[in-house]
Structure 1
Amino acid sequence: MTNSRFVKLAACLFVTTVVMPMATRADTWRYAFEEAINEVQGVYASKFKEEIEKNSDHEVELYPYGTLGESADIMEQAQAGILQFVDQSPGFTGSLIPEAQVFFVPYLLPTDTKKLNKFFRTSKAIHRDFKKLYAKQGLELLTMFPEGEVAMTTKKPVHSPEDLNEVKFRVMTNPLLVEAYKAFGATPTPLPWGEVYGGLQTNIIQGQENPTSFIESTKLYEVTDNIIYAGHNNFTTAVMANQDFYNGLNKNDRKVIQNAAKTAFEYILTYQEGLEKEALKKIQAARPEIEVIVLSEQERKPFKAAAAQVEEKFIEMTGKSGQKILKQMKADLRGL
């Protein structure tokens, strides 16, 4: 189904159930996200829904991946006001908010979980600068949170950028992620999520990246032979509200939403403790022959060197605004 048909379908749903302007009178709020209900974004959304319904008269309807289309569809619906809330990775908002691509500069975020969580709690770049950038697109940024260390999966073992030569590597439709995998030596191939499993199965692509828990829950391990940990990134996602909807609420409802976002944020960080290790155990139990490769510091050096090119490309793509964001993020990270 095309993007426009998804929007029309969702619009019909919206019109038939909400006849008044979207404001405090709306008692059913719609929230779409990019994963299944039992995956990290779904767990966050379920907790958010629980908190909203416990502390107000409103109800929250959840729409997991695929129910309203691909990532581009749900963002379009959120901006149009058909959805009140949307959870989308900066990987898919890169064309809309180019500065959000900063989360795909390799080796920028820390691998230490405590430091990483503190960054997401306290970062001025997130809580001040990105809020302004999202607002320009009609979106109220409620929170960002990490979803786990990104692992590469490939058909052949990878220990260096040379091993990625001519590997068609699936990336999200994100210009900077394309540049990152070019710098890593691969042939980046942007694909929507729905085509990844089949693409790996038919060898249209030979690699992709995602947190281990996502690799396990989506059974991507069935169509790959190697899981590689290079320590290059952590998957980030962002929860947003339609800004007209949010600004039209009374002070109490806005407070309920803010508190629900904060409570769900802390809940999801706790929920993820040990999640990736447990997921890897499940993968190895289901497919004992899969090879798990953790790159040594020496093996990571050429990947880290390539990251400098990606950072330069980010600044080139985003100009002074991106440079300001990157500078603030580095300052936030130094303060951990």
Structure 2
Amino acid sequence: MKISNALKLGAAVAALGVALASTANADTWRYAFEEAMDEVQGKFAQKFKEEVEANSDHTIQLFPFGTLGESADIMEQAQAGILQFVDQSPGFTGALIPEAQVFFVPYLLPQDQEKLQSFFRESKAINELFPPLYADQGLELLTMFPEGEVCMTTQEPVHSPADLDEVKFRVMTNPLLVKSYEAFGATPTPLPTGEIYGALQTGIIQGQENPRFYLESMKMYEVTDVITCIGHNNFTTAVMANKDFYDGLADGDKEVVQNAIDVAFDYILDYQAELDEASFDKIKEAKPEIEINILSDEERQPFKDAAGQVEEAFIEMTGDTGQKILDQMKADLEATN
């Protein structure tokens, strides 16, 4: 471990004010996530906490975005056992588990909410193929769920890939997302979440993408002029436990955890499905002059054509395992039709 990482872990321990001994027997479990308490991951975490505490003697301590650092920091803390639970998008986990980047292959996930929810409930890829990959990294994959349609913000209107030419576009630190925006014609610029607003404000970047609700809650509309939805993705996130902690739980506690995950999963699917339109309504109210464009099928086609390059790049990055997961996801999605 690098010294800088060791210092981060040490600081996290101090911030939490706990010893690392016997976390498996602790009655206070710590759960960090990448968003604010009133955003989708925060709502899921609060429902999970409510269920665990209602059905056991355990308590859940929640740590929203920024409390313990950036996404990379909370993942390190989860792997080290400082945190018992962590919610992190495959967009950040992709460097650790390359196959998780499949969720960033453009136009793979459906826009139809019923099909999307059926996929996340029933997918063999999620429920059978991904857990061993997470386990190899010391993580127990508990669930994955969608957070809403991803849209772009830019300073100028975007109606084709040509409109993204030379646009410095912020992406997560995710190799496949870099490939996506290269294919879309932009100049991808990986940045941590906490730096997006300031980078847009100062002109370091001219564009970025996030779910609709996040554009509203983080006030991205204040530092941008145009929002464009091209239908290319729905933001996905994953809830994990430290594997040593999880494996050390009594069967009854494992049942409490899984039941709480199931209740929170059902709750969040309904919650996030209602967010998209409400979020845009709030943005329009706050900034009436904002330009919001939902591209037509004809306008989306060049972006869809570019998606083939990204799928090929995913296979190159992940080999046979990635191909197996991609094929299974396509089969799972076909089964939802």
Residue 256 (structure 1) shift:
0.3
Amino acid at match of 1:21: S
Residue 312 (structure 1) shift:
0.2
Contact 1:212 1:279 in 2 (8 A): yes
Is 1:261 matched up with 2:261? Answer: yes
Q: Map residues 274-313 of structure 1 onto 2, 5 A cutoff.
A: 274-313=274-313
Q: Taking structure 1 as the reference length, what is the TM-score of the superposition?
A: 0.97
Amino acid at match of 2:23: M
Structure 2: distance between partners of 1:56 and 1:20: 21
Distance 1:13 1:224, change over 3 A: closer
Aligned to 2:10, which of 8, 31, 34? 8
Structure 2: distance between partners of 1:227 and 1:192: 21
Residue 119 (structure 1) shift:
0.3
Q: Sequence identity of aligned pairs in percent?
A: 68
**Aligned residues between the structures:** 333
Render the CA deviation track for 1:32-55: whole Å, top value 9, x for unaligned.
000000100000000000000000
Distance 1:20 1:76, change over 3 A: closer
Give the equivalent residue in structure 2 for 1:227.
227
State the SS of the aligned residue for 1:304.
helix
Structure 1: distance between partners of 2:280 and 2:274: 10
State the SS of the aligned residue for 1:240.
strand
Structure 1: distance between partners of 2:233 and 2:69: 27
Structure 1: distance between partners of 2:323 and 2:306: 19
Provide structure 1 residue ranges, at least 5 long, that are not aligned to the other structure.
none
Structure 2: distance between partners of 1:71 and 1:4: 16
Give the equivalent residue in structure 2 for 1:90.
90
Render the CA deviation track for 1:311-334: whole Å, top value 9, x for unaligned.
000000000010010010000000
Distance 1:107 1:175, change over 3 A: same
Render the CA deviation track for 1:195-222: whole Å, top value 9, x for unaligned.
1000000111000001111100000000
Structure 2: distance between partners of 1:48 and 1:163: 43
Give the equivalent residue in structure 2 for 1:49.
49
Give the equivalent residue in structure 2 for 1:138.
138
Render the CA deviation track for 1:209-262: whole Å, top value 9, x for unaligned.
011111000000000001101000000000000000000000000000000001
Q: Map residues 36-75 of structure 1 onto 2, 5 A cutoff.
A: 36-75=36-75
Residue 174 (structure 1) shift:
0.1
Give the equivalent residue in structure 2 for 1:170.
170
Is 1:121 matched up with 2:121? Answer: yes
Residue 301 (structure 1) shift:
0.6
Structure 1: distance between partners of 2:301 and 2:205: 26
Give the equivalent residue in structure 2 for 1:212.
212
Structure 2: distance between partners of 1:99 and 1:76: 19
Structure 2: distance between partners of 1:169 and 1:145: 25
Structure 1: distance between partners of 2:43 and 2:69: 20
Render the CA deviation track for 1:282-329: whole Å, top value 9, x for unaligned.
000110111011111011110000000000000000000100100100
Contact 1:3 1:72 in 2 (8 A): no
Give the equivalent residue in structure 2 for 1:22.
23
State the SS of the aligned residue for 2:43.
helix
Residue 21 (structure 1) shift:
1.4
State the SS of the aligned residue for 1:17.
coil
Give the equivalent residue in structure 1 for 2:197.
197
Structure 1: distance between partners of 2:46 and 2:315: 37
Amino acid at match of 2:204: I
Structure 2: distance between partners of 1:19 and 1:214: 34
Q: Map residues 139-154 of structure 1 onto 2, 5 A cutoff.
A: 139-154=139-154
Render the CA deviation track for 1:93-130: whole Å, top value 9, x for unaligned.
11100000000000000000110011000000000000
Contact 2:20 2:81 in 1 (8 A): no
Q: Taking structure 2 as the reference length, what is the TM-score of the superposition?
A: 0.97
Contact 1:105 1:311 in 2 (8 A): yes
Distance 1:13 1:166, change over 3 A: closer
Residue 74 (structure 1) shift:
0.2
Contact 2:34 2:64 in 1 (8 A): yes
State the SS of the aligned residue for 1:107.
coil
Amino acid at match of 2:177: L
Give the equivalent residue in structure 1 for 2:242.
242
Structure 1: distance between partners of 2:218 and 2:44: 18
Residue 13 (structure 1) shift:
5.1
State the SS of the aligned residue for 1:272.
helix
Contact 2:226 2:291 in 1 (8 A): yes
Residue 20 (structure 1) shift:
4.3
Amino acid at match of 1:86: V
Structure 2: distance between partners of 1:335 and 1:19: 45
Amino acid at match of 1:61: Q
Render the CA deviation track for 1:162-182: whole Å, top value 9, x for unaligned.
000000000000000000000
Residue 270 (structure 1) shift:
1.1
Provide structure 2 residue ranges, at least 5 long, that are not aligned to the other structure.
none
Q: C-alpha root-mean-square deviation of aligned residues, in Å? A: 1.0
